[in-house]
A = this chain, B = another copy of it.
Amino acid sequence: MSSESETKPLDLIFRPRSVAIIGLSRGAVGSPVSILTSLEDFGYDGDVYVVNPKMPAVSGITVCKTIEDLPEGLDLAVISVERSTVVDIVERCAGRGIRAAIVITQGFADADEAGAEEQRRLTEVIERSGIRVLGPNTIGVADARAGFTSSFIEISRDPASPVGQVAQSGFLMMGHHLVNNEAAGFGKTVDLGNACDLGLVDVLEYYEADDDIGVIECHLEAIEDGRGFLEAAARIARRKPIVALKAGKSRLGLKAVASHTGAVAGESRVYHQALRQAGVVEARSAEELRLFSKAFATYGKAAGRRVAVVSFSGGGAVLALDAIDDAGLELAELSAETLDSMRHFFPAWLEIENPLDIWIPIAKDMESSFPAILEGVLNDDAVDAVLCIYCSYNLPKYQNFDVSQHVSRLAASYPDKPIACWSYGQDIEGITKTVEASGKAMVFPSLDGAAQALAHLADHHQRTQQAARPQTARSGAAPQEVAGILQRAQGKAYLFTEAFEILEAYDLPVAPWALVEAADSLETATNDLKAPFCLKASSQDIVHKSESGGVVLGVERGAALEEAYDGLCQAVRRNAPGAKLEGVVVQEMAAKGIEVMVGMVRDPSFGPCIVVGSGGIYAEVLDDVALRVAPVDAEEARAMIRETKISRILSGVRGEAAADSEALVKILVALSRFALDHDAVQEIDLNPVIVGKEGAAIVDARFIMSDLAAGACGQGLVRADVG
């Protein structure tokens, strides 16, 4: 963040005191669909200049023939000229002392190579001149309070809205009415476009410091600086809720992966987990994005997850239970006092409980029963929130069923007990206006949306109550010898014995091993090891050890060992004739235990991610994994393990004793440390790690070096190649 004393770059963009519009056609004057009309409708009171040599005089606006005719030092230029002239125009703007620019024009890095080149030139101008730029390829911004916009979109000015939007396309600004309700609105909105200068984190931090913004709504397609985003989001989300929609989830399976870990840690999983770790509320659709941010803008705190259901319809109540269950909410247990207080509204034969099917009281006398029942529930200490289901039939005919004023009033009286509504009938829109009139209740288009929103409200409240987790996981100096091992391994594509050495340097329990480089050192090299052994070929050139005959299991000491050693060497020579055999790893067979996979993959946006899950040769098929963006501390590692199915096996099913999960925790934490200490390794598979009753043993390890991964596509290292 820039210091408070100078104007923030984004203030120049969102609320300029003066703006020059460059590239506006003459036809725009008087057109209903034009920035000029928008600024007038919006009531913008800054100075507006239009640069166009052929434009006639326009009332209230200064027309200049060229940029050089503009007064010096304007706050902002809004530029929508042919792409070939953009760079020149921006440079001339900077020359005229204009402090910031919104470049609307498309066809830069979003288009062809020529466009990408233009964008590079634009970046040079920005760096040289100091002008700040939003875009290119953007429709820019709108600021409801400043009355400013660079777009032609009609915006219902709602100065009270606490929602700050940021999108990686024009999508949110163009579709800000997506959910057809004005209360959703926005205070500020911005399309980042190609973000050649001002980007996502700049906007998030700008909104963080803006007291008018209470809820942040993000549309994300790709995040370049994932770590920067995570750090800012994690800090901000503990105060202001951030709701995000990740678009483009289906673009999977395209990136090159060289490990099991890479295969299971798809882009979608990494994004999902990264948002979750940052405390960002993930919306699964554009509709949820607007609903959740509207919910945060509407409700006060929701202190917990215990929900009471008050429903006109028994059938609706059953559906509400499904939604509550899916959202991980709980059904509140109403107190005997609460139930007694409403008992007289119901026939004697009807047992009342939560969910409350209130059809009989309503049909008899809504006015006397509904407010009493709803308020009774709100007063119950065991209730954190209410899911209210009612009908929205035409008025005045069905006014005996119209609960909207009661809901609106009681929602305002109990601001910290959200009343989430769902309704059916032919005038949902009309009745909703009354329910939402107090601004303290809202009507959801689905029970699922209502329940999910309540869950997110409760989660956010919990987040604001927790102290920030200190990220101690990275502390502790990297073992000194590791740099040397990596140095020695330089030029290698995969590490095997060096991987063992690195793991041991981090105090991790590799099953005892020795590298035997010649038959005559077999006995001395394995002197300290306990039989039976496992023999593995060590060679840069062999990707699939087993398939080349490069693995032999269960070998006893003595003649059997010699025989197995010779056999392995012969098999490798036969099956992989070109391969250089660096030696044979002789390793103790691990004691019985549960096969787990541990891994690391370096995501292009978010950096190293740690993975744990069911291991063995079927790890990918089982696809039972938990993932975290590093760092992972012990607490987080335990949470990861709990997320997997294998955790049930680790904790002992069918009367078995529990396995030593803490040994696994230690491996995860150390792997996270290594991944942050050194970026030379792109992907890691430790598979299997055998977790026993006491301790764990890393039996196999494979490190894929970053240099290899960078060229992975060229080398045909795609999914099918995982070995």
Taking beta carbons and an 8 Å cutoff, which residues of A are in contact with B? 32-33, 83, 106-107, 111-112, 114-115, 153-154, 156, 167-172, 174-175, 177-178, 180, 219, 221, 245, 247-251, 285-287, 312-316, 318-319, 321-322, 324-326, 347, 349-351, 360, 391, 393-394, 397-398, 400, 424-426, 428-429, 445-448, 544, 546-547, 617-618, 620-624, 645-646, 648-649, 653-655, 723
Q: Which residues of B contact A655 (CB under 8 A)?
A: 544, 547
Q: Which residues of B contact A175 (CB under 8 A)?
A: 313, 316, 391, 424-425
Q: Which residues of B contact A111 (CB under 8 A)?
A: 349-351
Contact A649–B618 (Cβ < 8 Å): yes
Contact B426–A617 (Cβ < 8 Å): no
Q: Which residues of B contact A623 (CB under 8 A)?
A: 645
Q: Which residue of B lies closest to A621 (CB)?
A: B648
Q: Which residues of B contact A391 (CB under 8 A)?
A: 174-175
Q: Which 10 A/B pairs are nearest by Cβ-Cβ distance?
A: A171-B315, A175-B424, A169-B315, A250-B325, A177-B426, A247-B318, A32-B397, A178-B424, A621-B648, A111-B349
Contact A177–B318 (Cβ < 8 Å): no
> Mind listing 22 A-B residue pairs with CB under 8 Å?
A106-B360, A111-B349, A111-B350, A114-B349, A154-B394, A167-B315, A169-B314, A171-B314, A171-B316, A171-B319, A174-B424, A177-B428, A221-B318, A247-B318, A247-B322, A248-B318, A248-B322, A250-B324, A251-B321, A285-B446, A617-B653, A621-B649
Q: Which residues of B contact A219 (CB under 8 A)?
A: 315
Q: Which residue of B lies closest to A287 (CB)?
A: B446
Q: Which residues of B contact A321 (CB under 8 A)?
A: 248, 250-251
Complex Cα–Cα for A571 and B154 (A) = 83
Most buried by B among A33, A167, A171: A171
Contact B180–A429 (Cβ < 8 Å): yes
Contact B247–A315 (Cβ < 8 Å): yes
Contact B32–A621 (Cβ < 8 Å): no
**Given the contacts A169-B313, A313-B169, A397 and B33 also touching, CB distance less than 8 Å:** yes
Min CB–CB distance A626 → chain B (angstroms): 15
Contact B33–A107 (Cβ < 8 Å): no
Min CB–CB distance A108 → chain B (angstroms): 10
Complex Cα–Cα for A77 and B410 (A) = 42
Contact A285–B394 (Cβ < 8 Å): no
Most buried by B among A245, A319, A321, A446: A319
Contact B287–A445 (Cβ < 8 Å): yes
Complex Cα–Cα for A621 and B398 (A) = 52
Q: Which residues of B contact A544 (CB under 8 A)?
A: 654-655
Min CB–CB distance A447 → chain B (angstroms): 7
**Given the contacts A645-B623, A653-B618, A286 and B426 also touching, CB distance less than 8 Å:** no
Q: Which residues of B contact A645 (CB under 8 A)?
A: 621-623
Min CB–CB distance A610 → chain B (angstroms): 22
Q: Which residues of B contact A319 (CB under 8 A)?
A: 171, 245, 247, 285-286
Complex Cα–Cα for A312 and B169 (A) = 12
Contact A447–B285 (Cβ < 8 Å): yes
* Partner pick for A447 among B174, B286, B324, B618, CB 8 A cutoff: B286
Min CB–CB distance A618 → chain B (angstroms): 6
Contact A621–B653 (Cβ < 8 Å): yes
**Given the contacts A169-B315, A446-B286, A347 and B248 also touching, CB distance less than 8 Å:** no
Min CB–CB distance A137 → chain B (angstroms): 9
Contact B621–A622 (Cβ < 8 Å): no
Complex Cα–Cα for A107 and B316 (A) = 18
Complex Cα–Cα for A398 and B321 (A) = 43
Q: Which residues of B contact A618 (CB under 8 A)?
A: 649, 653
Contact B315–A168 (Cβ < 8 Å): yes
Q: Which residue of B lies closest to A249 (CB)?
A: B322
